[in-house]
A and B are shown apart, each in its own frame.
Chain A
């Protein structure tokens, strides 16, 4: 199918679910791309994974009670994020072990809950792998509104998030509320995950959070640029992924993730400064040397150091 056919289908009133799915996929990829930058830079990918799994029992409860899936997922995800943040204050059990505990426990809880609902096998697959059909109009506004709130909070707290990412000890000494900033960041990650569940699914949502941000990190050494590139990569992946999925009748979540992964691999190979192939092609003389090496920085003798003969 050509891209023109795809655009025609998008405008076809009989296929009204398609533009809705596209809008939600692109919006959630953009939000995940921005929030994912913090996740990648802080090395908290595992927390993202835990939250993604934790959302599941909330969705299961909402499904059984016929309530809003987005809301149910958000409540469960935020609750788990808080539990991890609070439990991790006790340093005897490390954060990653705690996350391991909660990650599996919440997912197990979700499976038990959803098994109580009749005909759960089909809905289970929809939660886990995403779907583009059957998205109510209301979700479009919920996703858009939540996305705007997330981006607004990121804009407002960016300076503080950066300070905490860089150096927690120094941030505490400056009087920043490090614990509360952690909580807010966890909640933002949770919300970004929840709004992406519809199209991408529970299992694959982590890729939307990590892959575009990781690819952007390879392409630049500037945080501002990274935080624009990551949502751009996410948005393009969502669009191209949905197009390919529609053309070849492949699952939408998986296709979007594979497109994002292809972009990541391309960045890994040919990124301007950090790409594997780029570094091989560049001759050492072409590489930039720091302008102020400073004495001793390259293992060269200090100019004032007496030579063995003179000493």
Chain B
């Protein structure tokens, strides 16, 4: 069974077509990079998978069942700016908020919940900072808090929105290694990114998106310059293509 099946997905936002006929499959063990220019619909695709946005047509199937909100088999890591970093909350409490939906109303976290949070923090190597206020963390540490929050539900699918944006190269490398090992632990990982180098380097498969899927394949199979000029709307002389060829 596939972890994620998107078939013929159409999404409109504010009466404008954003996604058309999107077809995307994800298997466990894969780390797939979703690439495309601004406004290509990358975040919209993630939100449609999470049932956060109304779809016009098509189906999203997660682990064999139609997608709906509040499913604990999908872990979502939104962009870092969605999070209120000046909130007076410690790292472990922030990670625990990932379990709010599962806990339900009027229930307080128990031993099993704290254990899940501890495991998630160990997994992203933040256990030593568990009591630190989130506002005092560096960009890379913040990204790892968000990943741990998603992992607190032990999901089989992980959706990451722009995890590399605004981070320096060493931090990107560290996170790239983390995502690779998360995928190897029998999870399906889908990540949107602007960072071609990091994507080509760490992803097992790349999907080029601009309103519709332009290409879908392993990095080595996507050498054709036309795919990239078509996706990003750049000229054949763009430095982007040099990057692709070099990778």
Q: Which A residues are closer than 8 A to B by beta carbons?
A: 41, 156-157, 159-160, 162-163, 165-176, 217, 220-223, 226, 290-297, 302, 304-305
Contacts and interface: CB of A to CB of B under 8 A. Distances in A.
B205 interface: no
B174 A176 contact: no
B105 interface: yes
A41 B84 contact: yes
Contacts of A166: 83-84, 87, 89, 94, 97
Interface in B110-148: 128-129, 132-133, 135-138, 140-141
B98 interface: yes
A165 B129 contact: no
Given A168-B82, A221-B135, A297-B140, A41 B76 contact: no
B106 interface: yes
A147 B21 CA distance: 54
Contacts of B132: 290
Given A294-B141, A297-B138, A171 B100 contact: yes
19 contacts: A41-B88, A162-B100, A163-B97, A167-B78, A167-B83, A168-B82, A169-B76, A170-B97, A171-B101, A174-B102, A175-B71, A222-B90, A222-B133, A290-B132, A290-B137, A295-B170, A296-B171, A297-B138, A302-B170
A219 to B, nearest CB: 10
A291 B129 contact: yes
B87 A223 contact: yes
Chain B CB within 10 Å, residue with most, of A166, A217, A222, A293? A166
Given A156-B106, A291-B128, A294-B140, A217 B88 contact: yes
A306 to B, nearest CB: 12
Interface of B: 50, 52, 68-71, 74, 76, 78, 82-84, 87-90, 93-94, 97-98, 100-103, 105-106, 108, 128-129, 132-133, 135-138, 140-141, 149, 168-171, 174
A290 B103 CA distance: 32
B93 to A, nearest CB: 8
Given A172-B69, A290-B136, A167 B88 contact: no
Contacts of A162: 87, 89, 97, 100
B100 A292 contact: no
A285 B69 CA distance: 48
A170 B170 contact: no
- Which of B100, B128, B149, B169 has most chain A Cβ within 10 Å? B100
A297 B138 CA distance: 6
A170 B128 contact: no
A157 B50 CA distance: 24
B63 to A, nearest CB: 16
Nearest to A298: B138
Nearest to B74: A173
Contacts of A221: 88, 133, 135
Contacts of A168: 82
B87 A170 contact: no
Given A156-B106, A170-B82, A294-B138, 18 more contacts: A156-B105, A157-B105, A163-B97, A167-B82, A169-B82, A170-B83, A170-B97, A170-B98, A171-B101, A173-B69, A174-B98, A174-B101, A175-B71, A226-B88, A290-B129, A294-B141, A296-B171, A297-B138
A220 B133 CA distance: 10
A176 B100 contact: yes
B49 to A, nearest CB: 10
Contacts of A292: 128-129, 141
Contacts of B97: 159, 162-163, 166-167, 170
Nearest to B126: A292
A171 B70 CA distance: 9
Nearest to A42: B84
Given A165-B84, A220-B88, A295-B174, A174 B70 contact: yes
Contacts of A163: 97, 100
A293 B137 CA distance: 9
Contacts of B102: 174
Contact of A294 (B76, B83, B100, B174): B174
Nearest to A41: B87
Contacts of A172: 52, 69
B198 to A, nearest CB: 14
A249 to B, nearest CB: 39
